[in-house]
């Protein structure tokens, strides 16, 4: 369920460069990482909020846009814990960290739904 191939960027990466990479890779999230330490998630919504605030974001660094308290979850978290976390924090993605709090991947609401869908499909096959 965890995507370890998620798009990452250093905090000094410009928003323009990150947005271009998102388009190229068809990614909906960029994990901002500084030496394996996750700083936050950059999403189209994050960029949009800055634009609405009338900020010229093209040359702004992604580190300036991400939240100071990123939503993180341990690699060992189960699906139910993720559902509760997403609901409690009202988010659609979380950064996955290892026991040393270093970046290990990202999990999105869509990843979670896909995991439940696979399980549901397997149950349906058992009843046929």
Cα 120 to Cα 125: distance, rounded to the nearest angstrom = 9
Res 76: pLDDT: 93
**CATH number for 107:** 3.10.580.10
User: pLDDT by residue for the chain (128 residues), tens digit each?
Assistant: 777 789 999 999 999 999 999 999 999 999 999 999 999 999 999 888 888 887 788 789 999 999 778 899 999 999 999 999 999 999 999 999 999 999 999 999 998 998 888 888 887 787 77
H/E run at residue 30:
strand 30-34
Res 38: pLDDT: 96
Q: Tell me, yes or no, whether 2 lies in a domain.
A: no
Q: Tell me, yes or no, whether 12 lies in a domain.
A: yes
Res 127: pLDDT: 78
Q: Tell me, yes or no, whether 56 lies in a domain.
A: yes
- Supply the pTM of this predicted model: 0.84
Q: Tell me, yes or no, whether 103 lies in a domain.
A: yes
The pair of structure tokens assigned to 102 is 């270093």
What's the domain range around 62?
7-127
Q: Tell me, yes or no, whether 1 lies in a domain.
A: no
Please tell me the total count of domains within the chain: 1
User: How far, CA to CA in Å, does 124 sit from each of 26, 110, 116?
Assistant: 32, 21, 12
Is residue 53 classed exposed, middle or buried when 0-12, 13-18 and 19+ CB atoms within 10 A define those classes? exposed
DSSP string, 96-112: EE-TTS-EEEEEEHHHH
């Amino acid at each position: 369920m965890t995507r370890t191939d998620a798009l990452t960027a250093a905090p000094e990466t410009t928003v323009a460069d990150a947005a271009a990479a998102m388009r190229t890779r068809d990614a909906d999230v960029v994990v901002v990482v500084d030496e394996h330490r996750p700083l936050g998630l950059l999403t189209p919504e994050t960029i949009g909020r800055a634009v609405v605030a009338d900020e010229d974001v093209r040359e702004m660094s992604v580190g300036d846009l991400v939240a100071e308290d990123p939503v993180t979850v341990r690699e060992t978290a189960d699906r139910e814990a993720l559902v509760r976390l997403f609901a409690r924090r009202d988010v659609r993605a979380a950064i996955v960290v290892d026991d040393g709090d270093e970046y290990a991947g990202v999990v999105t609401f869509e990843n979670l739904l896909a995991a439940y869908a696979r399980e549901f499909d397997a149950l349906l096959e058992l009843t046929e």
